[in-house]
Chains A and B, each alone.
Chain A
Amino acid sequence: MTDLTRLTIAEAREKLGAKEITAVELTDAYLSAIEAANGALNAYVAVTPEKARAMAKASDARIAEGKAGALEGIPLGIKDLFGTRDVHTQACSHILDGFKPKYESTVTQNLWNDGAVMLGKLNMDEFAMGSSNESSYYGPVKNPWRASGSNLDLVPGGSSGGSAAAVAAFLCAGATATDTGGSIRQPAAFTGTVGIKPTYGRCSRWGIVAFASSLDQAGPIARDVRDAAILLKSMASVDPKDTTSVDLPVPDYEKSIGQSVKGMKIGIPKEYRVDGMPEEIEALWQKGIAWLKEAGAEIVDITLPHTKYALPAYYIVAPAEASSNLARYDGVRYGLRIDGKDIVDMYEKTRAAGFGQEVKRRIMIGTYVLSAGYYDAYYLQAQKVRTLIKRDFELAFQAGVDAILTPATPSSAFGIADEDLASDPVKMYLNDIFTVTVNMAGLPGIAVPAGLDHKGLPLGLQLIGKPFEEETLFKTAHVIEQAAGRFSPQKWW
């Protein structure tokens, strides 16, 4: 029998529907794969085999009754940021030690309502703060990809590093992820997978551990564009529990797969050609342009003049919101508690022991920029710059551009414990240079694999769309996928 873990969601759905395979068989195949691989890759921080088998059994029963949901029997991995009832939910932080919520996030509930099966919780950067998955309390995730002829362990990107690695290594059929500055798209690009950050407001944030509330959005990481479309359809909803959830019906994204891009206007922003960008990235970008041209799209040069200010503005807005969101971890209501001589001492010791370095750094920056006397100079200025960043995109769209094509990352995956990056936080932050603008403007963005670099590592292209036009991104990304092909790592683990 063929390896069931190799089936895409669309293929598995067909075989399950035709009763060629059962949901229990499919789930068992993934559980065995996880058992064999997780020691090496560290993609999962908690595996839930009993729950998975029970859910799969229920799926088989519903399939037999002809009551299958849109994701019936499809085994998924869930980023540790999503609240899952009675199951490990720690945002990969020590401060949420032992936390098992008594509620289910809206996004995961939507998936279970559609019949999906939970395999377990996926590793990530602590509180989603990082671009390499190295800030996790549970240790780094290893990228299933290695450079050709090399044994060096590479990062899978972050913060959704576990999600991307698990999808690329066939340890789940698809995964949930979240993206605050690039945390879906950068790891997708580093692992040869497809990741979409939908428009702000498309997926409910209810029940997801908050990092920066005006930027956080959930989305899927999947093996191909069609699977990403299938997953997003189930994840997205209108949720009365999230006041920023937008009151728009969720389209059937899968229908856009295979639609023509003829006559579409694709914008190429000159500001994304940054200093020191490897030639390969430029070449990949040109390939993407050529593919879309060939498919009948019109390519236009555009300008997004405030691009270079997106990352500095992000490093004020995101830490400011994080410092406020993470104030709740006080050793009283949940998680870790370190006793102290009085309540303030208890707070300070708990937070000192519970948060990792990167999280502390961001809380400190956020506290500083919001503190008396600095608010106007930093926070207010950053929010004004954010208005200008959004306006750049609005002007491009008003001029008739349908979507914007850019590289997804400035490089391919780098090594674990890279000394150059570890010594300078700002250098690590530059990983998000192409993705962060999209969060600042609340727009949808998709990363799609487009080729391999000279080391044999995957590289991705990013498409940015108008608000709530995810369908445009799916159809355009599919054209790139058709031209570029799909990429899987050589198994070494």
Chain B
Amino acid sequence: MSVDLATVKRVAHLARIAVSEDEAQRMMGELNGILGFVEQLGEVNVEGVEPMTSVTPMAMKERDDVVTDGNKAEDIVANAPVCDRNFFLVPKVVE
């Protein structure tokens, strides 16, 4: 399988990465190189093989349903590029 320019642009939009025409062209070549490389996986017979979901067999851990953390709004917004009174600020999203 290979990707065309329109697909590269669509995927870039899905990934929320702005790409210029030149970049999209370049990426198309690179992505097709990588997709060509991974193509060989198709030749492996995987009949009856379960896909791996956990690399070490383990039961999902449970912990007590109690509050162990919190009350640190200032810490949470400390690295925000723009914030106001412990709120993250974003461009307007509703009309």
Distance A346 CA – B82 CA, assembled complex (angstroms): 13
Distance A349 CA – B12 CA, assembled complex (angstroms): 12
Distance A333 CA – B81 CA, assembled complex (angstroms): 7
Beyond A98-B79, A333-B79, whether A346 also contacts B90 by CB under 8 A is yes
* CB-based contact B41/A312 at 8 Å: yes
Distance A315 CA – B34 CA, assembled complex (angstroms): 8
Q: A21-29, A252-260, A286-294, A375-383: which one contacts chain B?
A: A375-383
Distance A425 CA – B31 CA, assembled complex (angstroms): 9
The contact string, 1 if C-beta is below 8 Å from chain A, for chain B 7-31, is 1100111111111000000010011
User: Closest approach, in angstroms, between the C-beta of A468 and any C-beta of chain B?
Assistant: 9
User: Closest approach, in angstroms, between the C-beta of A115 and any C-beta of chain B?
Assistant: 26
* CB-based contact B55/A368 at 8 Å: no
* CB-based contact A441/B38 at 8 Å: no
The contact string, 1 if C-beta is below 8 Å from chain B, for chain A 86-118, is 000000000000111111000000000000000
* CB-based contact A378/B14 at 8 Å: no
Most chain B beta-carbon contacts within 10 A, residue among A201, A306, A336: A201
* CB-based contact B34/A102 at 8 Å: no
Is B44's beta carbon under 8 Å from chain A? Answer: yes
Smallest Cβ-Cβ distance to B55: which chain A residue: A442
Is A323's beta carbon under 8 Å from chain B? Answer: yes
Distance A424 CA – B90 CA, assembled complex (angstroms): 39
* CB-based contact A425/B30 at 8 Å: yes
The contact string, 1 if C-beta is below 8 Å from chain A, for chain B 29-45, is 01101110111111010
Is A313's beta carbon under 8 Å from chain B? Answer: yes
Chain B residues near A223 (CB, 8 Å)? none
Distance A464 CA – B12 CA, assembled complex (angstroms): 38
The 8 Å CB contact of A330, one of B14, B16, B58, B76, is B16
User: Closest approach, in angstroms, between the C-beta of B3 and any C-beta of chain A?
Assistant: 7
Is A340's beta carbon under 8 Å from chain B? Answer: yes
* CB-based contact B80/A332 at 8 Å: yes
Chain B residues near A243 (CB, 8 Å)? 60-61
Chain A residues near B33 (CB, 8 Å)? 424-426
* CB-based contact B37/A363 at 8 Å: no
Chain A residues near B81 (CB, 8 Å)? 331-332, 334-337
Distance A387 CA – B16 CA, assembled complex (angstroms): 32
The 8 Å CB contact of B37, one of A315, A323, A368, A386, is A315
The 8 Å CB contact of A368, one of B3, B17, B46, B60, is B3
Q: For the complex of A and B, list the 9 residue pairs with the smallest distance between their C-beta atoms, beginning with the closest.
A: A442-B55, A383-B51, A337-B81, A334-B79, A102-B75, A352-B18, A348-B18, A384-B46, A312-B38
* CB-based contact A368/B11 at 8 Å: yes
**Other A-B pairs beyond A244-B58, A323-B15, A386-B55, 19, CB < 8 Å:** A102-B72, A102-B79, A312-B37, A315-B34, A315-B37, A316-B41, A332-B80, A332-B81, A335-B81, A343-B93, A346-B91, A364-B11, A364-B12, A365-B31, A371-B11, A377-B42, A381-B46, A387-B50, A425-B34
The contact string, 1 if C-beta is below 8 Å from chain A, for chain B 46-88, is 1001111111101011010000000010011011111000001
User: Closest approach, in angstroms, between the C-beta of B52 and any C-beta of chain A?
Assistant: 4
The 8 Å CB contact of A246, one of B35, B37, B58, B91, is B58
Is A342's beta carbon under 8 Å from chain B? Answer: yes
* CB-based contact A332/B88 at 8 Å: yes
Number of A interface residues in the complex (CB < 8 A): 75
Most chain A beta-carbon contacts within 10 A, residue among B14, B17, B41, B78: B17
Smallest Cβ-Cβ distance to A337: which chain B residue: B81
Chain B residues near A484 (CB, 8 Å)? none
Selected A-B contacts with CB under 8 Å, 27 pairs: A100-B79, A102-B78, A102-B79, A244-B58, A308-B40, A316-B41, A332-B80, A337-B82, A343-B91, A343-B92, A349-B18, A363-B15, A363-B17, A364-B12, A364-B31, A367-B14, A381-B44, A382-B38, A384-B44, A384-B46, A385-B46, A387-B50, A387-B51, A426-B33, A426-B34, A426-B37, A441-B55
The 8 Å CB contact of A342, one of B3, B12, B76, B91, is B91
Chain A residues near B19 (CB, 8 Å)? 352
Most chain A beta-carbon contacts within 10 A, residue among B3, B15, B92: B15
Chain A residues near B14 (CB, 8 Å)? 367, 371
* CB-based contact B38/A315 at 8 Å: yes
User: Closest approach, in angstroms, between the C-beta of A358 and any C-beta of chain B?
Assistant: 10
Distance A342 CA – B93 CA, assembled complex (angstroms): 8
Is A199's beta carbon under 8 Å from chain B? Answer: yes
* CB-based contact B41/A361 at 8 Å: no
Smallest Cβ-Cβ distance to B72: which chain A residue: A102
* CB-based contact A355/B52 at 8 Å: no
Is A351's beta carbon under 8 Å from chain B? Answer: yes
* CB-based contact B63/A351 at 8 Å: no
* CB-based contact A367/B51 at 8 Å: no
The 8 Å CB contact of A360, one of B1, B3, B17, B63, is B17
Distance A246 CA – B16 CA, assembled complex (angstroms): 35
Distance A315 CA – B39 CA, assembled complex (angstroms): 11
Within 8 A of B (CB), among A7-62: none
* CB-based contact A348/B17 at 8 Å: yes
Is A390's beta carbon under 8 Å from chain B? Answer: yes
Distance A7 CA – B40 CA, assembled complex (angstroms): 48
Distance A89 CA – B42 CA, assembled complex (angstroms): 40
* CB-based contact A316/B38 at 8 Å: yes
Distance A323 CA – B38 CA, assembled complex (angstroms): 17
